[in-house]
Amino acid sequence: MIDKKHLDYLTSIVGEENIKSDKAHLIAFCYDATRTRFEPDAVVFPRHEQDVSDILKYCNEHKIIIVPRGAGSGFTGGALPANGGIILSLERHMNKLLEIDMENMVGVVQPGLINMQFQKAVEEVGLFYPPDPASEEYSTLGGNVSENAGGMRAAKYGITKDYVMALRAVLPNGDIIVAGKKTIKDVAGYNTAGILIASEGTLAVITEITLKLIPKPKYKKTYMGVFPSVDSAMTAVFKSLAAGANPVAMEFLDALVIKALRQKFPQISLPEHAGGILVGDVDASSEAEIESQLQTLKESFAANGSIDFIIARDEEEGKKLWFARRNASPATMIYGTKKLNEDISVPRSKLPVALEGIYKIGEKYGFNVPCFGHAGDGNIHVNVMVKDKNNEKEMEDGHKAIEEIFQYVVDLGGTLSGEHGIGTSKAPFMHIAFTEAEMNLFRSIKKAFDPNNILNPFKMGL
């Protein structure tokens, strides 16, 4: 428990209404999407950047742990107070859209602004912010930056880091820094913004974000390719991209997911003979370009064994094609009572062999491992399905299977996470992806920013 004198001082900074230590608030801020629970000692809601600075300066002096938090929608425990301390919640007050600069095509936001709110605001003026994590309706932009969030449009447009031009942030000692500029080119000094992106709140507290915007595409169409096997679908992914296709999204469903969807949602029409499905969108500034993109996809899919190619006639039909992908995750629960889901990533050309190996690891331990995800950027959502979560041996085998899958994808040149981050849940596996020299470098960076280790400590295996 935190000493009352510390709570009193923090109250003097933010006011009584912005600091909570009652049981209801401690429970509300003790978990994220992992459902793991760690109660904080208190929850503080800073009103502005100077509050953040004053709070961090005091906590640094008194060695009090601070855990920055947005919406708490993360899948790896990055915003959990796993070692106690104070939750610094940025969603209540620091959630504003500060500027849309039409001339320079950038948006300036506070970290607590919801991703979808920002997307809608910029689209109203004809601009476009592409990063679209599945949690876009409730995840914050600060959280997206801290985790380097991806999304379905990453195949064409990239991920969060590709749109961050500048950050304002507060160091653990209370110093306020600016990293980056509005300028397109900036090669002066170290890329501090690049270090803060994906740092999971371990190095500094982000207080302002400048994001690159692009013109909103005028046209969009949805497509679906049906394949006899997931192997042929995965081969079509990198072959079609190499042939010149440039889809906004290229998502995949394997045979196990298709079977689950047909059972869970009988109202949707999915081919019974499908062993793999690719679904996505193409967009462009002209209808001719849309048709050219679709033709490239159709020809390349056919060359790699597709048995059907469907183009949605309108937006409503497009939503029906997307329904299967958007409901893939809940459908897989037909295979067990506990899902051990990970978001590994491999080079696109390794997708066929990656899935083949993943299925073999599942068979070794007797698990169904339905897979789906962002094939266009090589990001696979792997789901080891444990039939009985109360069976200790099954759970133990499930975690062994996950560790083997991590090792397998790293050996293929892949990585532990494509978008969810490391946090606490993947920290035990960092040794698989990084050498001791690399981990020591990470620790040195952490120490340079946070010598007293007060800011979200012991995350990412550090």
Name the domain boundary from 58, 89, 120. 89
Number of domains comprising the chain:
3
Give the Å distances, CA to CA, from 8 to 16, 41, 69, 310.
9, 13, 22, 63
Name the domain boundary from 412, 442, 457. 412
Q: Is residue 230 part of a domain?
A: yes
Please tell me the distance from the alpha carbon of residue 367 to that of residue 360, in angstroms, as a whole number: 10
Give the Å distances, CA to CA, from 257 to 142, 211, 236, 260, 329.
32, 36, 19, 5, 8
Asked if the model's pLDDT at residue 271 lies above 90, the reply is: no
pLDDT at 267: 86
Characterize the bridge pairing of strands 308-311 and 251-254. Answer: unpaired
- Whether 383 and 405 map to the same domain: the answer is yes
- Whether 109 and 245 map to the same domain: the answer is no
Q: What phi and psi, each to the nearest 5 degrees, are found at residue 212?
A: -70, 140
- Whether 133 and 275 map to the same domain: the answer is no
* DSSP SS3 for 318: helix
- Whether 119 and 248 map to the same domain: the answer is no
Q: What is the mean pLDDT of residues 432-461?
A: 97
Which tens digits make up the pLDDT trace of 42-77?
A: 999 999 999 999 999 999 999 999 999 999 999 999
Question: Position 50: which residue type?
Answer: Q
Name the domain boundary from 182, 200, 215. 215
Q: What is the DSSP string of 202-233?
A: SS-EEEEEEEE-EEPPSEEEEEEEEESSHHHH
Please tell me the distance from the alpha carbon of residue 311 to that of residue 322, in angstroms, as a whole number: 12
Q: Residue 171 CB: number of other CB atoms within 10 A?
A: 18
Q: Is residue 253 part of a domain?
A: yes
Residue with tokens 């999971």: 200
Q: Each residue of 134-167: b (16+ CB within 10 Å) or e? A: bbbeebbbbbbbbbbbbbbbbbbbebbbebbbbb
Asked if the model's pLDDT at residue 269 lies above 90, the reply is: no
Q: What is the mean pLDDT of residues 22-50?
A: 96
232 half-sphere exposure, CB direction, 13 A CA radius: 19
Mean pLDDT of the chain: 96
User: What is the H or E stretch that residue 9 is in?
Assistant: helix 4-14
- Whether 127 and 113 map to the same domain: the answer is yes
Q: What is the mean pLDDT of residues 359-381?
A: 97
| Residues spanned by the domain of 29 | 4-89
Q: What percentage of the chain reaches a pLDDT higher than 90?
A: 97
- Whether 12 and 31 map to the same domain: the answer is yes
Which tens digits make up the pLDDT trace of 110-155?
A: 999 999 999 999 999 999 999 999 999 999 999 999 999 999 999 9
Asked if the model's pLDDT at residue 272 lies above 90, the reply is: no
Please, what is the angle between helix 49-61 and helix 4-14, to 10°? 160
Characterize the bridge pairing of strands 66-69 and 86-89. Answer: parallel
Please tell me the distance from the alpha carbon of residue 211 to that of residue 204, in angstroms, as a whole number: 18
Task: Tell me the two tokens of residue 446.
Answer: 């952490």
Q: Is residue 136 part of a domain?
A: yes
Judge whether 131 and 163 are in contact, CB under 8 Å. yes
Three-state secondary structure of 178-192: EEECCCCCCCCCCCH
Please tell me the distance from the alpha carbon of residue 386 to that of residue 388, in angstroms, as a whole number: 6
Asked if the model's pLDDT at residue 342 lies above 90, the reply is: yes
Judge whether 459 and 78 are in contact, CB under 8 Å. yes
- Whether 243 and 312 map to the same domain: the answer is yes
Q: Is residue 431 part of a domain?
A: no
Q: What is the mean pLDDT of residues 94-100?
A: 98
Judge whether 327 and 264 are in contact, CB under 8 Å. yes
Please tell me the distance from the alpha carbon of residue 454 to that of residue 462, in angstroms, as a whole number: 12
Q: Is residue 443 part of a domain?
A: no
DSSP 37: B
pLDDT at 447: 98
For residue 249, the domain's CATH number is 3.40.462.10
- Whether 171 and 39 map to the same domain: the answer is no
Q: Is residue 328 part of a domain?
A: yes
For residue 51, the domain's CATH number is 3.30.43.10
Asked if the model's pLDDT at residue 273 lies above 90, the reply is: no
- Whether 232 and 362 map to the same domain: the answer is yes
Judge whether 82 and 458 are in contact, CB under 8 Å. yes
Q: What is the mean pLDDT of residues 314-320?
A: 94
Please tell me the distance from the alpha carbon of residue 226 to that of residue 245, in angstroms, as a whole number: 17
pLDDT at 184: 92
What's the gap between Cα 261 and its chain centre?
A: 24
Task: Tell me the two tokens of residue 196.
Answer: 């803060």
User: What is the H or E stretch that residue 302 is in?
Assistant: helix 287-303
- Whether 279 and 396 map to the same domain: the answer is yes
- Whether 156 and 16 map to the same domain: the answer is no
Please tell me the distance from the alpha carbon of residue 213 to that of residue 274, in angstroms, as a whole number: 38
pLDDT at 255: 96
For residue 102, the domain's CATH number is 3.30.465.10
Residue 268 pLDDT level (bands cut at 50, 70, 90): confident
- Whether 160 and 298 map to the same domain: the answer is no
Judge whether 363 and 319 are in contact, CB under 8 Å. no
Which tens digits make up the pLDDT trace of 188-219?
A: 999 999 999 999 999 999 999 999 999 999 99
Four-residue CA torsion sign, 80, 86, 87, 90: negative
Judge whether 381 and 134 are in contact, CB under 8 Å. no
Q: Is residue 419 part of a domain?
A: no
Q: What is the mean pLDDT of residues 19-23?
A: 97
pLDDT at 437: 98
Q: Is residue 183 part of a domain?
A: yes
